[in-house]
Amino acid sequence: MAIPFKLFRAKVSLPFVLLAMVFFAVPAMSQGKGPVVVRPGAPGKPSTVLPADTRPLPPSLSKKDIEFMQGMIHHHAQAVEMVALMEGRTTNKELRLLGARISQSQSDEMNFMKRWLAARGQPAEMQMAGMQMSGMSGHEHHMMSQMLMPGMLTSEQMAALKASSGREFDRLFLTGMIQHHGGALTMVKELFETPGSGQDAELFTFATDVDSGQRAEIRIMQKMLGE
């Protein structure tokens, strides 16, 4: 028994339509002519046969994508610097293990971000009005860091951390790193709230990993601080 057209049309779900589009979009083998790429047309329009060497284009990068990765490299670098200060200043085994974990993971992530930027022809160093941050004075560098990368410790906070030891160092390190991680969460939030940003697959995965990983470490540090 034939199904009335209106009834059949009503039963076609969106997943079915998407599946059909994917099916027709994948390369098909024509007889003796190699792969054929078919792009489905809009409703009521014919499909288009594309050249066999057609490759999908990645989503375009936004200015925010580049700034996020450049800024996060600099942000991570300060966390690694903070962990390096543990040597000779604390004997807290649990804190030292956490520090080693933070230093290793953020160093690996910095290398990933530099490769990601290089593959897209972008410098690892953030530039502002034609100036590289590496060319600024210490005060200018810290001021710019605070403005562009939330959560960064000030020069005064870093000096206090360097001058401390024992339980005071542990307290300053934990409060400082919680502040620092909180800034990274803000950077991820701002990335995804910027229209057209965070669409690159590698960038999206990295940013979501940063968010979940640093939230977990904040909870650990808050517990340590309470103890």
* pLDDT tens-digit map of 140-157: 545 555 556 899 999 999
As a whole-number percent, the residues of the chain with pLDDT over 90 amount to 62
Total residues found in the chain within this entry: 227
Alpha-carbon span 199 to 208, nearest angstrom: 12
Alpha-carbon span 29 to 189, nearest angstrom: 44
Q: Which two tokens stand for residue 44?
A: 């009521």
Q: Is the pLDDT of residue 8 over 60?
A: no
Q: What is the reported pLDDT for 60? A: 75
As a whole-number percent, the residues of the chain with pLDDT over 70 amount to 69
- Cα 47 from chain centroid? 37
Mean pLDDT of the 30-55 span: 65
List, by residue range, all CATH 1.20.1260.10 domains of the chain.
63-226
For 63-226, CATH gives: 1.20.1260.10
- Per-residue pLDDT of 93-140, as tens digits, reads 999 999 999 999 999 999 999 999 999 999 999 876 554 555 544 545
- Per-residue pLDDT of 151-198, as tens digits, reads 999 999 999 999 999 999 999 999 999 999 999 999 999 999 999 999
pTM of the model: 0.70
Q: Which two tokens stand for residue 138?
A: 């210490």
